[in-house]
Homo-oligomer: A and B are copies of this chain.
Amino acid sequence: MISFESDYIAGAHPKILQRLAETNMECVKGYGFDIYSESAKEKIKKACGREDVEVEFLVGGTQTNAVVISTMLSDEEGVIAAKTGHINGHEAGAIEYTGHKVLEVPQVNGKLQAADVKTLMEDFYGDDNHDHMVFPGMVYISHPTEYGTLYTKDELTGLSELCRSYDIPLFMDGARLGYGLMSRDTDVTLQDIAKLCDVFYIGGTKVGALCGEAVVFTKNNRPRHFMTSVKKRGALLAKGRLMGVQFDTLFTDDLYFEISRYAIERAEELKAMFHELGMEFFLESPTNQQFVILENSQMQALQEKVRFGFWEKYDENHTVVRFATSWSTTEEDMKALREALTAL
């Protein structure tokens, strides 16, 4: 059955598998000290337009969020996130497992508003008893957000300035960063992110890799003895080459950007198709995830032919569903989806 269920339904981009095969028999050092990891880090630095950032590889998104947040926060601190932020609702309490609170803030289309964060900060420092409260010690955002939306450069600058005024880091979860960067409706570049965020990660798992996320520390702020903290959290890969080879491939000849752009093109076709068919959008996202509202019986009929994601109940008779494109979405998938939708 064709599937638009998520952007991690297929394996890896074929070039990654090919490169894994080519380098397979070479004997390299473990734990990320291999030549491919080194090379990948250099290429990522270049893509960020900064020689002075530090790059580290981790295996998955939840792991990355937990490792980064728990090693950068002080004991008394928690992390600010949108109510809909991935760390707040869909990571099984991985942040709290590290002993830190997620400080929930309202959101608009999945995005944190600088004004809301400012209010939280002012309320906190305005409270005489704030010593009894969790200190706001970091701001977490996802870009694209869980709803596929994007921060504008202005919005990102506002959050960045606010964070700097309180001397707390701005952390961007870039599990789907490629799709954000290649959106037709963004004015934010990777270089901007490297400038405006204190730490962020470039998602691999959802953008063509088998697994892997590349964390970028932009202010010489990688926690001391980071490798030991990673090991302590069970997150250190013995065969670090698996990360190295994948990211080295993704950042060779702009592959990461190319496959992201491809997914965006398919997503734009999807939007056009949905409009053409008169479907109701829940949220018209500028990235690779599209959210539409289906009548429940239509939804059930469609399920017979296509896989897609259930997002949330809309009302008694309707459901919000998600269609995601990726590097692996084919022309045939698009055609088959159109047929299935037309037949509803």
- Shortest CB-to-CB span from A208 to chain B, Å, is 11
Whether A49 sits at the interface, judged by CB under 8 Å, is no
Kindly supply a per-residue 1/0 record for chain A positions 17-47, scoring 1 wherever the CB is within 8 Å of any chain B CB and 0 otherwise.
1001101111111110000000000000000
B9 near A30 (CB under 8 angstroms)? yes
- Nearest B residue to A71, CB-CB: B75
B17 near A30 (CB under 8 angstroms)? no
A94 near B8 (CB under 8 angstroms)? no
Whether A335 sits at the interface, judged by CB under 8 Å, is no
Q: Which of B3, B27, B90, B232 contacts A97 (CB 8 A)?
A: B232
B233 near A97 (CB under 8 angstroms)? yes
A236 near B25 (CB under 8 angstroms)? no
B239 near A205 (CB under 8 angstroms)? yes
Kindly supply a per-residue 1/0 record for chain A positions 218-245, scoring 1 wherever the CB is within 8 Å of any chain B CB and 0 otherwise.
0000011101110111111111011000
Binds B, one of A61-69, A165-173, A279-287: A61-69
B234 near A67 (CB under 8 angstroms)? yes
Say yes or no: A235-B63 contact (C-beta < 8 A), given A17-B17, A133-B90: yes
Whether A188 sits at the interface, judged by CB under 8 Å, is no
- Shortest CB-to-CB span from A97 to chain B, Å, is 5
Q: Residues of B contacting A30 with CB < 8 Å?
A: 6, 8-9
Q: Residues of B contacting A127 with CB < 8 Å?
A: 312
How many monomers of this protein are in the complex? 4
Whether A276 sits at the interface, judged by CB under 8 Å, is no
B90 near A228 (CB under 8 angstroms)? no
Q: Residues of B contacting A75 with CB < 8 Å?
A: 70-71, 223, 225, 228-229, 232
Q: Residues of B contacting A211 with CB < 8 Å?
A: 237-239, 242
Whether A215 sits at the interface, judged by CB under 8 Å, is no
A8 near B239 (CB under 8 angstroms)? yes
Could you give 23 example pairs across A and B, Cβ below 8 Å? Answer: A9-B27, A10-B24, A10-B25, A11-B24, A11-B239, A20-B20, A27-B328, A60-B236, A62-B234, A64-B234, A75-B229, A76-B228, A92-B231, A93-B232, A97-B99, A99-B99, A126-B313, A131-B225, A210-B239, A211-B237, A211-B238, A211-B239, A234-B234
Q: Which 4 A-B pairs have the closest CB atoms?
A: A63-B234, A11-B24, A92-B231, A76-B228
Interface residues of A, Cβ cutoff 8 Å to B: 1-3, 5-6, 8-12, 14, 17, 20-21, 23-31, 59-67, 70-71, 74-76, 78, 89-94, 96-102, 104, 126-129, 131-135, 205-206, 210-211, 223-225, 227-229, 231-239, 241-242, 307, 310, 312-313, 328
